[in-house]
Structure 1
Amino acid sequence: MNNKVEKEKLEVINLIKKTFLNFKFNLKETLVFEMFYRLLALFILWPINYVIIKYFMKSSGFTSISNSQFIDFALSIRGIICIGVVVVISFCMIFFEIGALTYIGVKSHNGEKVRLLDGAFNSFSMLKDTMDRGMIPLVLITGVIGPLTGIGLCSSLIRNFTIPPFITIELKKTLGGKALLFIGIAILVILLFRWCLAIPILLVEKIKGRAAIKKSYLIYKKNKWKLFRGFIIWIIVIFLIGTIATGGVIFTGATVGEFLGNRSVYSMIFLSVMTIIFYLMFIFFSLISTPLFVSYLVELYYALRSEDTRERDLKDEYDYKDNKIYKGLNKFRKLAILLTIVLFIVMVSINGYNVISKRVFNKDIMITAHRGASKAAPENSMSSIKKAVEQGADYAEIDVQTTKDNEVVLFHDNNLKRIAGSSKKIKDLTYEEISKIDAGSYFSKEYKNERIPKLEDILKYSKGKIKLNIELKPMGKDDNLVPLVLDLINKYDMKNDVVITSIDFDSLMKVESLEPALQTGYIVLAAIGDFEKLNVDFFSIESTLATPQTIYALHALNKGVHVFTINSEESTEKMIFLGVDNIITDNVPLVKDIENSMREDKDLDYVTMYYEAVLSITRFSNI
């Protein structure tokens, strides 16, 4: 048994070696194609989809869509049509890239040089074969599963598609959530294995999309452990190559820079050159990551398919000799390649300059303890507020709801299941009933019998100690949460010590109409359109929405930017460099330590600046 496993591992390693050798055969053509596709995606494909979405939004009466409005729009007739059109266009363009790369992989496998125009025409001509029930799994594999798993099968059109951190953070808070996350990832990986060979099959064999999906599944059934080992070894090899290459450049730069003198002119020149080399290497790996994996899938397909497979005849220049579009494009082929290379160089040069030299450090940045210091004490409790004060947070973010007898209490969820093991809801209980609930034991025995506090008690304690970010969580249209909260704020003279936020925009508008002097912030989980122009003082945005463009636009409109939920060193540094105004975190000490280290006024030497430039490239460059 062990001999068999070792033999299969050796076969996989030999297959990976073969992939690299064959990939090198048409490397220049692959790089040019990827440059062309990146430009196409940036300047044509994304704008087309955006214009389509804006048209349907406008015809439905929306200038922007955020949060629950996505559901309202998606369930409308125009929304359904819009989604259908965008999905079909996006799939066609994704298939164009993956199909053309598969074409290059097949030609390289056969030792044949490729013409990019032939690859593009062959890819588009096979689109009709995908337009059956097989299109659904093909959309999932290329548009969802590939990007989410991050193994390599992801188009440049949607390269950065990830599960928003606020979802994974909430899931990880409970055992059931962790299990759900694990099961979800497992399902995605299994589907990836089942369907990953569908596009090579579709391109090489003259069959329809549904048949290609079925045939990919049959190959998976017979070779599931070979596929699994093949993917694992591939991931390890690519990781090692990337680590050794990047580590080598970083180590060489830092070592030679120190030898030359970390403040000398020679060190500055040398490290500037090394930064450029690292950036070019980063761009190169970015360009080849998807093509290389597609080439590996092609080699896997040839290794695992049955010997009696009948291949389709891939067309070439001779077959298209009477095609006017082909002839017209072929006439300007060399000029198109030259323009592609020049425009791509300009684009990456501008991107590199912006990433390295145009970082923003907001010296007035604030730190908000999410649900109080929820990493150190039970969330939304008096203890978590006290911990937030001890940790030196500027704000404590708290969630408020009303009880059955109109008391305002701190609580986040719709029911007590996660905190107290009960399916009952806050709005269905009186405060007397709620005051008997143990809301601390779920966190640790140390906080046994911690109670769900009233907002009134939190306001009394917090005055003069810490500011509050009060998130309104109304439960129904007839909920009188807004006036009750405002009455308490006025009662304790806390107008200058609180801000009001909510995912419910109507609640914020009630606050604006009743107490216009209060600062209001709209919580945005997802958005499209001109949401920046909404009538609030600041926006509390999910971290994946925090792009330089969004932050610049909000600041230009004099709107503050709060970002949630930031719990890692990498994401903290990124938010600080982007110039956000407030970081919302479960881990206040971590964010404070990073902020303090970055705030120190010191004359940075060239080696340190080199390290920071490298980090900026890896974290912020988006090509």
Structure 2
Amino acid sequence: MLLQVIADWILPTYNLLAINYALFSLWGIVSLGISITLAYTEVQITNPRGTFLLEFLLIAITFTLSFATGKALFNHPINPVTIAHRGVNQKNGVPNTLESLKKTIKYHPDYIEMDVHMTKDNKFIVLHDNNLKKLAGIKAHPEDLTLAELKKLNVTANNHQTKLTDFDTYLKYANQHHQKLLIELKTTPNNATDFANIFAKRYYANIIENHHQLHTLDFQTLMILQNDIPKGNLNYLMPYNLTIPEENIHAYGMRYSTLSPDFVAINRQKHKLVYTWTPNSRLAINKALSLGVYGIVTDNVSQLHVAIKEAQHWSDAERLLQVLLYS
């Protein structure tokens, strides 16, 4: 860190993060080499010059690879897409309702993330949970009720009360105000296939024309949608960073607590996008910014805007500190 602070002072216009990363790696390799040498001091070296050249070559290769790794991990712009989680900002309304959408649009997020369930009569309601107990106080699933029945319910959250909103109304308002949506399709084992087919057929043209995005946790639904929706409008939600699927997927949504620099860097090199959800504290947002994700889904989009502006002025030392803290 001291070396990085000095470098920032002497050469403030150069990004030396990759070099510093290589220096850290080189320090580790040299330390290991010294330890091995001390452990075998009784061994007689018959060709000191050849041994030195071999050690120098290994160190040079390690330094080069580390530099390349550091460049891939850290040398990226900090300008992520901003996404308001469930259509709210700082608890300014009941999530996933028209009232909160109207308020949150004023904060100018790039996207508003929201959730859609299919109803008993094969229509679509804007709602996150698969049970209405928490919001409406009744033990029922969205698929058990018709759209008309769902729209009559009073829902309460964040000290606000309103009615549920059907997807057509929500979508129409967003389009009228040129607000792009990140739409999560909430399927169940009972309706996954029907959901994907009906939704794609009904909203394909609208999604393409207004540049909306779709994402889902259900891989089967994603594969069905790929037959009708361009891959540039489809994202796959992965709760945990366990592996990188090899399928032809344009973008991933990842829980921020499971993100790692290598996951983001590998996908960046493959020209795939990585969104992360849902960092709400300033520390969590800084982690996401330091890793260089494409988009950030948060409940506090106004704070995210401020954090991005500050992060864009991080010195190399500050950026390195963020990476070391959160990697």
Tell me the CA shift for residue 442 of structure 1.
2.9
Tell me the CA shift for residue 496 of structure 1.
4.1
Aligned residues: 291
The 1:518/1:407 distance shift into structure 2, 3 A limit, reads farther
Tell me the CA shift for residue 358 of structure 1.
5.5
Alpha-carbon distance between aligned partners in 2 of 1:416 and 1:365, rounded to the nearest angstrom: 34
Look up the match of 2:173: 461
- Partner AA of 1:573 in structure 2: N
The 1:494/1:609 distance shift into structure 2, 3 A limit, reads closer
> Among 514, 518, 531, which residue is 2:228 paired with?
514
Which structure shows the higher helix fraction?
Answer: 1
The 1:354/1:457 distance shift into structure 2, 3 A limit, reads same
- Partner AA of 2:173 in structure 1: Y
Alpha-carbon distance between aligned partners in 1 of 2:11 and 2:165, rounded to the nearest angstrom: 62
Residues 269-315 of structure 1, C-alpha deviation per residue, up to 9 Å, x if partnerless? xxxxxx99xx9xxx9xxxxxxxxxxxxxxxxxxxxxxxxxxxxxxxx
Tell me the CA shift for residue 495 of structure 1.
4.0
The 1:410/1:386 distance shift into structure 2, 3 A limit, reads same
The 1:497/1:421 distance shift into structure 2, 3 A limit, reads same
Residues 403-431 of structure 1, C-alpha deviation per residue, up to 9 Å, x if partnerless? 11111011111101111222111110112
Alpha-carbon distance between aligned partners in 1 of 2:8 and 2:135, rounded to the nearest angstrom: 55
Alpha-carbon distance between aligned partners in 2 of 1:497 and 1:413, rounded to the nearest angstrom: 26
> Among 537, 560, 571, which residue is 2:250 paired with?
537
Residues 450-491 of structure 1, C-alpha deviation per residue, up to 9 Å, x if partnerless? 111111011101114211111111122445222332244246
The 1:390/1:539 distance shift into structure 2, 3 A limit, reads same
Instruction: Note the aligned Cα RMSD (angstroms).
Output: 3.9
Tell me the CA shift for residue 385 of structure 1.
1.8
Alpha-carbon distance between aligned partners in 2 of 1:507 and 1:424, rounded to the nearest angstrom: 23
Look up the match of 1:418: 134
Counterpart check, 1:359 vs 2:64: no
The SS at the match of 1:427 is helix
- Partner AA of 2:99 in structure 1: S
The SS at the match of 2:252 is strand
Alpha-carbon distance between aligned partners in 2 of 1:492 and 1:578, rounded to the nearest angstrom: 33
Alpha-carbon distance between aligned partners in 1 of 2:66 and 2:298, rounded to the nearest angstrom: 29
The SS at the match of 2:227 is helix
Alignment of 1:18-167 (within 5 A): none
Look up the match of 2:286: 573
Q: Which of 1 and 2 has greater Rg? A: 1
The 1:347/1:567 distance shift into structure 2, 3 A limit, reads farther
- Partner AA of 2:270 in structure 1: L
Alpha-carbon distance between aligned partners in 2 of 1:560 and 1:524, rounded to the nearest angstrom: 13
Look up the match of 1:428: 144
Residues 341-390 of structure 1, C-alpha deviation per residue, up to 9 Å, x if partnerless? xx9xx999x98997799523335520111111153221111122223311
- Report the TM-score, using the length of structure 2 for normalisation: 0.74
Q: Tell me, yes or no, if the aligned pair for 1:356 and 1:616 is still in contact at 8 Å.
A: no
Look up the match of 1:403: 119
Q: Tell me, yes or no, if the aligned pair for 1:362 and 1:576 is still in contact at 8 Å.
A: no
Look up the match of 1:210: none
Tell me the CA shift for residue 333 of structure 1.
9.2
Look up the match of 1:216: none
Alpha-carbon distance between aligned partners in 1 of 2:92 and 2:215, rounded to the nearest angstrom: 23
The SS at the match of 1:423 is coil
Which structure shows the higher strand fraction?
Answer: 2
Look up the match of 1:523: 237
Residues 239-274 of structure 1, C-alpha deviation per residue, up to 9 Å, x if partnerless? xxxxxxxxxx99xx99xx8xxxx986599xxxxxxx
Counterpart check, 1:503 vs 2:217: yes
Alpha-carbon distance between aligned partners in 2 of 1:523 and 1:365, rounded to the nearest angstrom: 18
- Report the TM-score, using the length of structure 1 for normalisation: 0.41
Tell me the CA shift for residue 335 of structure 1.
2.9
Question: Percent identity among equivalent residues?
Answer: 22
Alpha-carbon distance between aligned partners in 2 of 1:459 and 1:611, rounded to the nearest angstrom: 41
Q: Tell me, yes or no, if the aligned pair for 1:360 and 1:577 is still in contact at 8 Å.
A: no
Could you tell me which runs of 5 or more consecutive residues in structure 2 were left unpaired when the two chains were aligned.
Answer: 13-19, 29-36, 44-57
Alpha-carbon distance between aligned partners in 2 of 1:383 and 1:578, rounded to the nearest angstrom: 34
Q: Tell me, yes or no, if the aligned pair for 1:456 and 1:488 is still in contact at 8 Å.
A: no
Alpha-carbon distance between aligned partners in 2 of 1:430 and 1:485, rounded to the nearest angstrom: 16
Counterpart check, 1:593 vs 2:300: no
> Among 546, 556, 562, which residue is 2:269 paired with?
556
The 1:475/1:610 distance shift into structure 2, 3 A limit, reads closer
Q: Tell me, yes or no, if the aligned pair for 1:402 and 1:427 is still in contact at 8 Å.
A: yes
Higher relative contact order (CA 8 A, sep 6+): 2
Q: Tell me, yes or no, if the aligned pair for 2:241 and 2:259 is still in contact at 8 Å.
A: no
Counterpart check, 1:368 vs 2:83: yes
Q: Tell me, yes or no, if the aligned pair for 1:420 and 1:442 is still in contact at 8 Å.
A: no
